[in-house]
Amino acid sequence: MGKLIIFTAPSGAGKTTIVRHLLKVFPNLAFSVSATTRQPRSYEEEGRDYYFVSVSQFRSWIDAGAFAEWQEVYEGQFYGTLHSEISRLWAEGKHIIFDIDVKGAVNLKKTYGDQALSVFVKPPSPEVLFERLNLRRTEDPVSLAKRIAKTKEELSYQNKFDAILVNDVLETALTDAERLVSVFLGIGAKKNLENNP
Kindly state the DSSP code that residue 111 receives in the 8-state scheme. Answer: H
Does residue 105 contact residue 161 with C-beta atoms inside 8 Å?
yes
Axis-axis angle for helices 141-155, 126-136 (nearest 10): 150
Amino acid at the residue 36:
T
pTM: 0.85
For the domain 4-185, what is the CATH superfamily, name and number? P-loop containing nucleotide triphosphate hydrolases (3.40.50.300)
pLDDT, tens digit only, all 197 positions of the chain: 799 999 999 877 889 999 999 999 999 999 999 999 999 989 999 999 999 999 999 999 999 999 999 999 888 899 999 999 999 999 999 999 999 999 999 999 999 999 999 999 998 887 777 777 777 666 677 777 777 778 888 989 999 999 999 999 999 999 999 999 999 999 855 554 334 44
Q: What are phi and psi of 122, to 5 degrees?
A: -115, 135
Candidates 121, 155, 151, 163; CA nearest to 17 is: 121
